[in-house]
């Protein structure tokens, strides 16, 4: 694929959408928070935490990069997981450029799966993540393994969020391949996601942080009401569980667990909003919500 690069005089500004894809837990959300310099995308050590696409905007010189955070590429029978895979595939098809995130310890199977899903042949960059977890020798070996695919990708960029390595190189490379365009959004904007969805994700992240096993995967959050004031947001939200036994665990003895989740979420929300948050959390049981299209749609997961 030949890439036409405009000179700065021909192309005063650039803008474009960049889908960030990879297997669950490849480090997509962590990478995006690092690039934007703010905690916007949900991060969890547990796989498959991200469920919907989220736009995160990074300004780099004269280039406006609209990153699209996506769920991890995986295949499971549950309807919610099917929705998550479709979100990733749609993002690949709709974008100008794709970043495929590949942890340095991974085999190439996940990349080969991505090539199969990239049916429209969208140009892409391979980003080797977590390079601080391998030796220099292992990193060189991994880079060498990808060379057999060098005709398929535009570039291969090693990065480490932990060691703050590769940020400028990655942003520079992305900028080379985006189209000449006026900026699509106000350059002061960091995300197009509304405050309701950001708060929802912060509560979900707190559920993942405070509970183990299957419960975080069988819960979701509905923001019932937000009353925004200059110095205080009042937020009412309901955590949806699949079973009564899960509700008991979410609430905890004497309400201890729900208080802990609420406290963690409130701290995250206050840091993001820069003001006080009054958060009321409730728990409700909606049996089989993750396996029912109507229930998923009511919670915000549309299969259109």
* CA angle 23–28–31, rounded 5-degree value: 150
7: confidence class by pLDDT, cuts 50, 70, 90 = very low
Residue 184 forms part of a structural domain: no
Is the pTM higher than 0.85? The answer reads no
* Residues 216/207, Cβ–Cβ less than 8 Å: yes
Sheet holding 155-158, edge to edge: 54-60, 63-69, 14-22, 97-103, 124-129, 155-158
Domain count, the chain: 2
Residue 224 forms part of a structural domain: yes
Q: Kindly state the tokens that stand for 16.
A: 């474009």
Of 272, 264, 216, 262, nearest to 235 by C-alpha is 262
Q: Last residue of some domain: 115, 146, 177?
A: 177
C-alpha distances (whole Å) from 256 to each of 1, 136, 249, 250 are: 57, 46, 10, 9
Q: What is the mean pLDDT of the chain?
A: 86
How do residues 107-143 score in pLDDT, each as one tens digit? Answer: 999 999 889 888 888 899 999 999 999 999 999 999 9
Residue 5 forms part of a structural domain: no
Residue 144: domain span: 14-177
158: confidence class by pLDDT, cuts 50, 70, 90 = very high
CATH number for position 258: 3.30.300.20
Q: How far apart are CA 95 and CA 226, in angstroms?
A: 32
> Is the predicted pLDDT of residue 5 greater than 90, yes or no?
no
Report the DSSP pairing between strands 232-241 and 219-228: antiparallel
How do residues 11-66 score in pLDDT, each as one tens digit? Answer: 899 999 999 988 887 888 889 889 988 777 665 555 556 666 788 899 999 999 99
């Amino acid at each position: 694929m030949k890439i036409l690069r405009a000179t700065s005089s021909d192309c005063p500004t650039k803008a474009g959408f960049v889908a960030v894809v990879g297997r669950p837990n490849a480090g997509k959300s962590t990478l995006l928070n690092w690039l934007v310099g703010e905690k916007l995308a949900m991060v969890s050590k547990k796989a498959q935490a991200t469920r919907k696409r989220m736009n995160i905007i990074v300004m780099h010189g004269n280039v406006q990069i609209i990153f699209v955070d996506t769920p991890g590429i995986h295949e499971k029978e549950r309807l919610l997981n099917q929705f998550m895979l479709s979100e990733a595939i749609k993002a690949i098809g709709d974008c100008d450029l794709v970043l495929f995130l590949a942890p340095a310890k991974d085999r190439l199977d996940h990349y080969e799966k991505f090539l199969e899903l990239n049916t429209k042949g969208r140009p892409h960059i391979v980003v080797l993540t977590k390079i601080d977890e391998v030796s220099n020798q292992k990193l060189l070996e991994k880079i060498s393994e990808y060379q057999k695919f060098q005709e398929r990708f535009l570039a291969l960029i090693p990065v480490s969020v932990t060691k703050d390595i590769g940020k400028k190189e990655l942003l520079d490379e992305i900028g080379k391949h985006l189209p000449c365009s006026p900026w699509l959004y106000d350059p002061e904007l960091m995300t197009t996601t509304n405050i309701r969805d950001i708060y929802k994700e912060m509560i979900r992240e707190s559920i993942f942080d405070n509970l183990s096993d299957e419960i975080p995967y069988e819960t979701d959050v509905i923001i019932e009401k937000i009353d925004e004031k200059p110095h205080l947001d009042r937020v009412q939200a309901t955590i949806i569980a699949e079973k009564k036994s899960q509700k008991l665990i979410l609430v905890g003895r004497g309400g201890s667990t729900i208080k802990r989740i609420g406290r963690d979420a409130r701290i995250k929300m206050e840091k993001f909003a820069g003001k006080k948050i009054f958060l009321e959390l409730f728990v409700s049981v909606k049996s089989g919500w993750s396996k029912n299209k109507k229930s998923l749609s009511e919670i915000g997961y549309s299969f259109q």
